């Protein structure tokens, strides 16, 4: 039978999924009163501040009696009205009331599971919060972080993103669309940017009358970056755990915040069932910052540079570019002095007519100390050594010796060190160097290369 042959009543039954929800979501005055009585009970039992719960409950009942919620005739509008009223009265942005998505058939944890399973994977996980990580022009790192998922899940993704940041000259962390998450994950990401054992934040929970402190972790899964210029992007949609990260960085003067004042939700908690059709989030704890002894509840986290959320990234990049350029000019001046000192000293080594052992005892420690002041010191020394291994092997042997002390994982250092020794007709020491490299090599390709080098060295020289 086609739809056009159905009666109006039959059509309504056929399209029940469309018509029924508006009927099922209707709420009576008696049901409203029962819901409010349950809310006051839950607030009394669980809300982090008992005195605030008492005051809010008294005002809620009076507001109901005065007809404040009379215009809300269905579950959706009633839950929205309750949320707005509770947040304004208790001054707690985490408080909220929600209608279950399919009415009376779903409640409690089942509702949460249903919500999650009906979200597209791309919306639910987002690489466990790390939506993207990239390096922008002028070596500025950028991470778009959408959530602080459970640390066990998100840690590999955070570590991967931070590995990409390790050599950047400035880092931007975008929290403009981050709704929060696990305080352990907030603690973990914060720990990448401090090398001191600082107290970042504390969470007090009413239920056990306990306070949990979150300190900077000694170890992270990558390289710590305590000195890199750091920028955090915020918006009015930056919430909860994302606000904690922002507030931690702001109060410790570790980052520059760029964007809008955040949402203002500092009190963690959980979902509680009001009835089969309604549930609510109640704050069971509160954040305590060690610097301010308060938090960002209701007022939000105010950025250092106030600008519209859509313009925040461009502004942060502009600021980062200026800092990177300033820092480079300072570093360049320092580095020029160190490079000149190093090259002057190496020239003395190169021109010395003393035996290699005497040259090493006189200059090796000084050269090593100077080159360590430069980035990638092993590469700096090795590049010079490669240039001279066959032309001035004595000088090259001196340099490769230092390069290996700086980095004994590059097997090419050993190979060319041995070649330079062979040029000095010191075959036994050349073989010893190859054997030393073979003991340290873990990669088959490296081992084969060292063996090939040894075979080349052992080839007899055929005269013309």
pLDDT at 123: 47
pLDDT at 53 over 50: yes
Task: Work out the pLDDT band at 125, boundaries 50, 70, 90.
Answer: low
Positive/negative CA dihedral, 163, 287, 293, 204:
negative
Query: Domains of the chain, with CATH numbers?
Result: 21-117 (no CATH), 121-274+282-321 (3.90.226.10), 352-458 (1.25.40.10)
In the chain, helix, strand, coil percent, each to 5? Answer: 55, 15, 30
Other C-beta atoms lying within 10 Å of the C-beta of residue 104: 12
Nearest C-alpha neighbor of 206 from the set 151, 286, 126: 286
CA dihedral 219, 168, 253, 176 (to 10 degrees): -100
Question: Mean pLDDT of all residues in the chain?
Answer: 90
Any residues with CB less than 8 A from the CB of 443 and at least 6 apart, and which?
A: 411
97, containing H or E segment = strand 96-99
pLDDT at 325: 97
Other C-beta atoms lying within 10 Å of the C-beta of residue 151: 18
Other C-beta atoms lying within 10 Å of the C-beta of residue 374: 14
Task: Work out the pLDDT band at 23, boundaries 50, 70, 90.
Answer: very low
Q: What does the pLDDT look like over 136-191, one tens digit per residue?
A: 999 999 999 999 999 999 999 999 999 999 999 999 999 999 999 999 999 999 99
pLDDT at 436 over 80: yes
Higher pLDDT, 266 or 11: 266
Positive/negative CA dihedral, 145, 148, 153, 154:
positive
pLDDT at 117 over 90: no
């Amino acid at each position: 039978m086609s739809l056009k042959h159905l009666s109006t009543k039959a059509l309504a039954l056929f399209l029940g999924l469309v018509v029924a929800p508006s009927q099922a979501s209707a709420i009576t005055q008696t049901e409203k009163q029962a819901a409010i009585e349950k809310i006051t009970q839950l607030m009394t039992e669980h809300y982090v501040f008992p005195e605030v719960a008492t005051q809010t409950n008294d005002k809620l009942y009076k507001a109901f009696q005065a007809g404040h919620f009379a215009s809300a005739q269905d579950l959706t509008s009633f839950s929205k009205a309750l949320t707005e009223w509770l947040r304004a009265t208790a001054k707690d942005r985490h408080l909220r009331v929600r209608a279950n998505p399919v009415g009376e058939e779903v409640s409690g944890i089942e509702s949460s599971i249903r919500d999650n399973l009906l979200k597209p994977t791309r919306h639910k996980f987002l690489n466990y919060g790390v939506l993207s990580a990239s390096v922008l022009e002028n070596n500025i790192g950028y991470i778009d972080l959408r959530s602080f998922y459970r640390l066990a899940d998100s840690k590999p993704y955070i570590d991967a993103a931070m590995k990409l940041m390790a050599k950047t000259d400035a880092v931007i962390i975008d929290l403009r669309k981050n709704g929060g998450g696990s305080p352990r994950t907030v603690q973990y990401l914060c720990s990448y940017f401090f090398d001191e054992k600082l107290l970042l934040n504390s969470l007090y929970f009413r239920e056990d009358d306990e306070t949990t402190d979150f300190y900077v972790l000694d170890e992270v899964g990558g390289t710590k970056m305590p000195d890199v210029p750091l920028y955090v992007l915020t918006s009015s949609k930056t919430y909860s755990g994302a606000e904690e990260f922002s507030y931690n960085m702001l109060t410790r003067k570790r980052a520059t915040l760029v964007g809008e004042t955040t949402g203002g939700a500092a009190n963690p908690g959980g979902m509680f069932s009001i009835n089969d059709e309604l549930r609510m989030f109640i704050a069971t704890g509160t954040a305590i910052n060690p610097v301010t002894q308060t938090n960002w509840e209701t007022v939000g986290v105010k950025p250092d540079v106030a600008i519209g959320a859509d313009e925040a990234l461009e502004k942060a990049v502009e600021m980062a570019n200026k800092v990177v350029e300033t820092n480079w000019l300072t570093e360049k001046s320092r580095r020029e002095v160190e490079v000149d000192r190093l090259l002057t000293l190496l020239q003395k080594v190169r021109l010395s007519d003393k035996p290699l052992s005497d040259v090493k005892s006189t200059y090796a420690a000084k050269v090593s100390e100077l080159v360590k002041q430069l980035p990638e010191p092993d590469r700096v020394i090795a590049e010079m050594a490669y240039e001279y291994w066959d032309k001035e092997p004595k000088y090259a042997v001196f340099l490769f010796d230092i390069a290996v002390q700086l980095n004994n994982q590059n097997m090419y250092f050993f190979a060319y060190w041995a070649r330079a020794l062979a040029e000095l007709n010191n075959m036994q020491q050349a073989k010893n160097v190859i054997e030393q490299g073979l003991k340290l090599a873990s990669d088959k390709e490296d081992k084969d290369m060292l063996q090939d080098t040894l075979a080349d060295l052992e080839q007899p020289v055929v005269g013309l």
